[in-house]
């Protein structure tokens, strides 16, 4: 029979307590083991991947709205056309605000990556104000159109126009609310890993809205003013 040496550490603690009494202490747990068991079990880049999937579904929504406008955009029903309704100077100002907000959010991400809480919050505030200005101008445009009797019920063109542009404006409004929530979270807990991950998701969402608006500005407003 071979000689096999069994260390006392190989015997379960419960069995040793039964054999030798209840005064045997458990082996000390190493710091490395503690770190292993306290690691947050969150898949790396899992949140970003899931958010990309959400953005793809949002792309389908806007694709349907763009397609509807492409079909109905010339159905004026004897009413005014885009060339008669659109104020390109106001739309250009609105576009500038949204594109500038994308730049300021980029500065917020740079400050976040440098772990600078105060500059991150400052750039987020500026981004939110620019986004609020964009929504405010869009609401003013809608109010003017409805006041003049050119609401969504006036023609198929205006129905598709209001559906597309208001859906984008609703997304920007949700983005502003999300932005306010993140400012509160960063102010309370700092730039912890969870907040950095959420800010990156919001960054993707905000830049996505900029890309969609460039399509709206070109396809709806610029092409809409052509004879």
- Taking only the tens place, the pLDDT of each residue in 64-119 is 999 999 999 999 999 999 999 999 999 999 999 999 999 999 999 999 999 999 99
- What confidence score (pLDDT) does residue 225 get? 85
- What confidence score (pLDDT) does residue 25 get? 46
- Tell which residue, 137, 114, 105, 122, has the closest CA to residue 203: 105
- Percentage of the chain lying above the pLDDT 90 cut: 74
* pLDDT at residue 227 tops 80: no
- Considering the domain delimited by 44-224, tell me its CATH architecture: Up-down Bundle (1.20)
User: Helices in 73-192 by DSSP H: which ranges?
Assistant: 82-85, 88-113, 117-147, 156-189
* pLDDT at residue 2 tops 50: no
* pLDDT at residue 6 tops 50: no
144 Cβ contact list (under 8 Å, min separation 6):
none
Taking the CB of residue 100, how many other CB atoms lie within 10 A of it? 16
Residue 93: how many CA atoms within 13 Å on its side-chain side? 11
Q: What are the tokens at 10?
A: 């190989």
How far apart are alpha carbons 101 and 107 in whole angstroms?
A: 10
pLDDT in tens, 35-60: 434 445 555 566 778 888 999 999 99
The residue that leads in pLDDT, 4 or 142, is 142
Q: Mean pLDDT of all residues in the chain?
A: 85
pTM listed for this prediction = 0.79
- What confidence score (pLDDT) does residue 49 get? 84
| CA of residue 147 relative to chain centroid, distance | 33
């Amino acid at each position: 029979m071979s000689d096999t040496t069994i260390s006392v550490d190989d015997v379960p603690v419960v069995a040793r307590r039964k054999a030798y009494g209840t005064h045997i202490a458990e082996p000390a747990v190493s710091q490395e083991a503690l770190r292993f068991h306290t690691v947050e079990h969150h898949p790396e880049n899992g949140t970003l991947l899931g958010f990309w999937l959400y953005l793809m579904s949002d792309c389908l929504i806007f694709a349907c709205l763009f397609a509807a406008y492409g079909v109905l955009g010339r159905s004026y029903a004897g009413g005014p056309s885009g060339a008669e309704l659109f104020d390109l100077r106001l739309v250009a100002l609105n576009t500038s605000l949204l594109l500038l907000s994308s730049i300021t959010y980029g500065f917020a991400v740079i400050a976040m990556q440098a772990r600078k809480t105060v500059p991150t919050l400052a750039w987020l505030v500026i981004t939110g104000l620019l986004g609020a200005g964009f929504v405010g101008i869009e609401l003013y445009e809608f109010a003017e159109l409805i006041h003049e009797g050119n609401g969504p019920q006036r023609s198929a063109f205006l129905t598709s126009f209001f559906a597309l542009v208001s859906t984008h404006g609703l997304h920007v409004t949700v983005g502003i609310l999300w932005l306010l929530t993140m400012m509160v979270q960063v102010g309370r807990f700092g730039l912890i890993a969870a907040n950095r991950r959420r800010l990156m998701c919001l960054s993707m969402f905000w830049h996505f809205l900029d890309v969609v608006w460039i399509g709206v500005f070109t396809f709806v407003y610029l092409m809409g003013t052509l004879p």
